[in-house]
């Protein structure tokens, strides 16, 4: 709950203020004139706010979420245009009990930028939560009335609205000075919450009933880790159910052209993930990257610094858009991004020795250690501490026998157990998945017997319903999680019906999604002709809509008819 401070809507979940003395304003910095500067505090937001409250001189805390750094201020004067600026990386926290009449007088008459406990006509209005650029309660059941009185004075409109006990939400249009009142809202319905920069939604929190809270869609807190909770047989985030659904974009860290993708191309995938109601993206090359000059591990245990920015940016986007990541550590196939044979080449041994040679294993562990301890240049957070990472997978399709791609060996149980436990000794925060696929639960891998593994995944490019039921049932019998890490994007409703009706399948990821050249739908799509990869282009949108509605059904969300 560390990031949920101030009475606010974060994503689409209402949060009662756990630290009652703070007003929260997202995306705004105030107290920017020099006279109000004070000191810097480093750490998580709860630590920062607790420390700031102990110093009576602090009136404002400006918190940078990516840097986890706070800048405290002794005051602010919003009547001065230089004293307030927009900055999406920051949240402003104001100590409401320290706002003196002098401060209020200096705020001026405008109330538009006061979010949370807001100012109306130079006084604090304690009963309204203010959210800019959002309209709520758009479904028919919540429509109430339009108010045009008082010459559009928002303060008077809100005062009048408080006199009508049916009103939960007031939507105010700043350009027309018109308010539309609502009797409620249900954010679990995607049609009930829309973005519109001309509007501000005012919510009366004193009228929020338990029924409203139950119907709101839970949005994961980006500052906690997803866990596998065997007692509940589900992935959980903040104690609530988390459903990992999304797609594969394997190229985030390194492309088939042996270069790095543009930041716009990577960010486009996270924007599409939000549109599709995805919660997670699986991307191979954020960790599978070896054997070529531009890769993360070119030809030795010394990692390539030029490869980190692309990886770091993907993690930063995951944090920005609140989309989780799955990262695999290595691959059995001789594809462009490298494979576990590259660790053998370093030691001059055959690829098949990867699972048994002690020097090769030591090198692989060293790679894992360096990867987990790497500190992101954009966020300042080590991978092992990054809540944007949903799960670490030992590898991609380890043990699938494909002689044409030089994959001929099944990883033994001893290797799986050793590597899984090694990851846990460095990183106890993240879920560890098995890296096997077709050999899942077999006599060599015996991965169901490995205690350090939290969950398992299998891949499906043909509709093997019997295998789906058997493998997911086996995982459930051992109290482990199970996801479909890859499946054909061409599958139809019979597949989705089987998956959605299977209580042992906890998440799914289709293959795959590719970007447009400029990272926008207006630029040409980069086509990847493997028969399964889709783009955000007109001809693929119908199938993406089918996939999106599958994500929504898996999460218990309402379906949509168009993007």
Q: DSSP string of 246-276?
A: EEE-TTSS--TTSS---HHHHHHHHHHHHHT
Query: Is the per-residue pLDDT at 101 higher than 70?
Result: no
Q: What is the mean pLDDT of residues 151-160?
A: 73
Read off the pLDDT of each residue in 503-515 and give the average, rounded to a whole number. Answer: 97
Query: pLDDT, tens digit, for every residue of 214-230?
Result: 444 334 445 689 999 99
- First vs last C-alpha separation in the chain: 31
The secondary structure element, H or E, covering residue 215 is helix 210-215
Instruction: Kindly write down the DSSP assignment for every residue of 276-297, as one continuous string.
Output: TT--EEE-GGGT--BSSTTSSB
Distance CA 409, CA 332 (A): 9
pLDDT in tens, 479-490: 999 999 999 999
Q: Sketch out the chain's domains with CATH numbers.
A: 8-215 (3.50.4.10), 236-555 (3.20.20.80)
Three-class DSSP category at 495: helix
pTM for this structure? 0.65
C-alpha span between 20 and 59 (Å, rounded): 14
pLDDT in tens, 438-452: 999 999 999 999 999
Write out pLDDT tens, residues 329-365: 999 999 999 999 999 999 999 999 999 999 999 999 9
Helix axis angle for 358-373 and 413-426, nearest 10°, is 30
Mean of all residue pLDDT scores within the chain? 83
The model's pLDDT over 365-399, given as tens digits with 9 standing for 90+, comes to 999 999 999 999 888 899 999 999 999 999 999 99
């Amino acid at each position: 709950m560390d990031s949920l401070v101030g009475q606010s809507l974060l994503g689409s979940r209402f949060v009662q203020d756990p630290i009652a003395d703070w007003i929260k304003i997202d995306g705004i910095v105030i107290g920017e004139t020099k006279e109000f500067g004070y000191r810097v505090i480093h750490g998580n937001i709860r630590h920062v706010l607790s420390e700031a409250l102990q110093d009576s001189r602090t009136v404002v805390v400006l918190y940078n979420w990516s840097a986890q750094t706070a800048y405290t201020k002794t005051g602010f004067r919003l009547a001065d245009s230089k004293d307030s600026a927009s900055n999406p990386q920051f949240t402003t926290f104001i100590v409401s009990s320290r706002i003196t009449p002098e401060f209020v007088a200096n705020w001026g008459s405008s109330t538009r930028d006061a979010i949370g406990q807001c100012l109306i006509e130079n006084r604090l209005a304690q009963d309204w939560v203010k959210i800019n650029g959002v309209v709520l309660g758009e479904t028919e059941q919540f429509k109430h009335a339009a108010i045009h009185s008082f010459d559009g004075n928002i303060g008077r409109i809100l005062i009048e609205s408080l006199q009508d006990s049916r009103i939960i939400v007031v939507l105010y249009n700043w350009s027309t000075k018109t308010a539309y009142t609502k009797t409620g809202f249900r954010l679990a319905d995607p049609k009930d919450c829309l973005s519109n920069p001309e509007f501000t939604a005012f919510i009366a929190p004193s009228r929020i009933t338990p029924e409203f809270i139950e119907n709101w869609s839970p949005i994961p807190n980006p500052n906690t880790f997803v866990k596998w909770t065997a007692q509940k047989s589900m992935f959980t985030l903040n104690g609530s159910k988390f459903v990992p659904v999304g797609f594969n974009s394997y190229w985030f860290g390194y492309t088939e052209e042996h270069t790095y993708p543009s930041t716009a191309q990577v960010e486009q995938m996270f924007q599409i993930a939000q549109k599709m109601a995805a919660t997670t993206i699986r991307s191979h090359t954020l960790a599978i990257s070896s054997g070529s000059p531009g890769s993360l591990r070119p030809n030795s245990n010394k990692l390539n610094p030029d490869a980190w920015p692309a990886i770091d940016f993907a993690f930063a986007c995951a944090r920005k858009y609140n989309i989780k990541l799955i990262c695999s550590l290595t691959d059995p196939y001789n594809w462009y991004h490298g494979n576990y044979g590259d660790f053998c080449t370093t030691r001059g041994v055959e690829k098949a020795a990867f699972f048994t040679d002690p020097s090769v294993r030591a090198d692989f562990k060293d790679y894992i250690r360096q990867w987990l301890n790497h500190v992101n240049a954009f966020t300042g957070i080590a991978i092992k501490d990054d809540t944007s990472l949903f799960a670490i997978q030992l590898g991609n399709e380890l043990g699938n026998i494909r002689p044409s791609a030089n994959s001929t060996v099944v990883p033994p149980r001893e290797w799986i157990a050793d590597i899984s436990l090694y990851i846990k000794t460095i990183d106890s925060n993240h879920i560890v998945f098995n890296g096997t696929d077709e050999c899942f639960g077999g006599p060599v891998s015996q991965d169901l017997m490995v205690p350090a593994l939290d969950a398992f995944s299998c891949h499906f490019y043909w509709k093997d319903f019997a295998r789906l039921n058997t493998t997911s049932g086996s995982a459930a019998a051992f109290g482990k999680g199970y996801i479909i890490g890859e499946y054909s994007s061409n599958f139809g409703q019979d597949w989705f019906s089987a998956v959605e009706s299977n209580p042992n399948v906890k998440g799914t990821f289709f293959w795959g999604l590719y970007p447009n050249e400029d990272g926008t739908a207006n630029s040409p799509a980069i086509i990847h002709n493997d028969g399964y990869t889709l783009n955000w282009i007109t001809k693929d949108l119908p199938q993406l809509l089918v996939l999106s509605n599958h994500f929504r059904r898996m999460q218990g969300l309402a379906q949509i008819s168009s993007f």
